[in-house]
Structure 1
Amino acid sequence: SNVLLDHEMNPKISDFGMARIFGGNQSEANTNRVVGTYGYMAPEYAMEGIFSVKSDVFSFGVVLLEIISGKKSSGFYHLEHGPSLLAYIWKLWCEGHAAELMDSVVKQSCDQAELLKYIHIGLLCVQEDPMDRPTMSSVAVMLASDIVTLPKPTQPAFSVSRVASGQFVSHSEDHCSVNAITLSTMSPR
């Protein structure tokens, strides 16, 4: 989404089209025209056109989990774990194997306990119910603090899969990290 934060962490809409939809003191709005990249859009926006400041929290969580895992949300497919990066991460988290998620490039430059904290924060950001997601100011406090006790995340929203049509499916088991290389995937909406 096109939302910026000011120096006091207040959200400011930078997309004029969306700004016209919002009223003066609204924190949530609805649109009939959904724009964005699937895999990063909050499910309530992608499926119902409802967006709020919590939509950006969802997108931030996806990006954070992508950085840690070295895998892209859009185009992710794993034969054993299914078509969703969030489903794969949630499965590893619930099994106590979240450390397996970490990209080797990131793992070398960060403490494992710190990376596990970031995974935890990422999962809090991608929870299905927007009311369960933290605010961005809370996320900033969680990221900066070593003392904060983090709440237990609930099952994340899983992005809509395009596996049925055969798009984005890769059956390669080779290790690939978006932290080591840059890939571009072009696909029409």
Structure 2
Amino acid sequence: MSLFNVRQIKGATNNFDIANKIGEGGFGPVYKGRLSDGTLVAVKQLSSKSKQGNREFLNEIGMISALNHPHLVKLYGCCVEGDQLMLIYEYLENNSLARALFGAAEHQIKLDWPTRYKICVGIARGLAYLHEESRLKVVHRDIKATNVLLDKDLNPKISDFGLAKLDEEENTHISTRIAGTYGYMAPEYAMHGYLTDKADVYSFGIVALEILHGSNNTTLRQKGSEAFHLLDWAHVLKEENNLMELVDKRLGSNFNKEEALIMINVALLCTNVTSALRPAMSS
């Protein structure tokens, strides 16, 4: 992992030019930059007013530099100078899955069925690595469509480990201050702060439904006089034996019905209210 100085990063981002700003993360603004060797990077600047502060910043650096997987965003290095704290990541051309699926019309990307299926499997592989295969055993805590980035070939990469807490072997769960995103949070975590890797499994289930349906979990769907979030809507359609109704209308009939059914059933298993009944990511 490289250590950069502020001068190098200012040079790379054209002095944090607003034209290079590509997003706003849990930490602060994110800028696109080009290093002197031509490498494109994403620079995540820790905002000085950010409550998350140094502790989490250093936690993130130490953790991500030890993690290496094709479906995790690669960390090139960091810059810690004076009150400047920055993370330098690989740059991913296609921004976030959320923007591709349900961002502003001009930012949306037409994702065909094979691509959606590939993205879903890739996220699952990245999480299986975090939970079971990496030597750290990490619970991400904030899996959502904005934290899944897409490279030039639309391969997914999980980003933003700022909230990830190390899942110590001896502690089977971590009782912690709640840090996640409403709509993606497992009920036991949202209500009691009870955190295991099964909380990520729940969030993955929500993201899988969003990929399939093409819209945000918290967008309400109307049926008669009632309105449903996406997960509740999936349960309604399951009761009515009409699960194919969940598939994004933009796909028309151009999708694999068997794979769609597998994806829906996996999502429903992953979002089981009882965490012990959710599968492991590797399965």
**Structure 2 residue aligned with 1:128, among 256, 264, 273?**
273
Q: Which moved more, 1:67-76 or 1:37-46?
A: 67-76
What's 1:47 paired with? 191
Structure index of larger Rg: 2
| Structure 1 outlier segments of 4+, above 6 Å | none
Is the 8 Å Cα contact of residues 9 and 137 (structure 1) preserved in structure 2?
no
Q: Secondary structure at the match of 2:273?
A: coil
Query: 1:12-40 deviations in whole A, cap 9, x for unaligned?
Result: 246576536x5442231111x21211110
1:97 aligns with 2:223: no
Task: For CA contacts below 8 A with separation 6 or more, give which structure has more relative contact order.
Answer: 1
How many angstroms apart in 2 are the aligned matches of 1:17 and 1:103? 31
**Structure 2 residue aligned with 1:115, among 236, 255, 260?**
260
Cα distance change of structure 1 residues 75 and 122 upon mapping to structure 2, 3 Å threshold: same
**Structure 2 residue aligned with 1:19, among 154, 162, 165?**
165
Is the 8 Å Cα contact of residues 57 and 135 (structure 1) preserved in structure 2?
yes
| Deviation of 1:84 (Å) | 2.1
Query: Partner letter of residue 191 of structure 2?
Result: M
How many angstroms apart in 1 are the aligned matches of 2:270 and 2:216? 17
Cα distance change of structure 1 residues 64 and 107 upon mapping to structure 2, 3 Å threshold: farther
TM-score by length of 2: 0.42
Q: Secondary structure at the match of 2:282?
A: helix
% identical equivalent positions: 34
- The within-5 A match list for 1:133-148 is 133-138=278-283
- The within-5 A match list for 1:164-183 is none
| Deviation of 1:79 (Å) | 4.6
Unaligned runs of at least 5 residues, structure 2: 1-59, 61-125, 141-160
Query: 1:144-170 deviations in whole A, cap 9, x for unaligned?
Result: xxxxxxxxxxxxxxxxxxxxxxxxxxx
Query: Partner letter of residue 183 of structure 2?
Result: G
How many angstroms apart in 1 are the aligned matches of 2:281 and 2:199? 10
Cα distance change of structure 1 residues 28 and 106 upon mapping to structure 2, 3 Å threshold: farther
More strand by share: 2
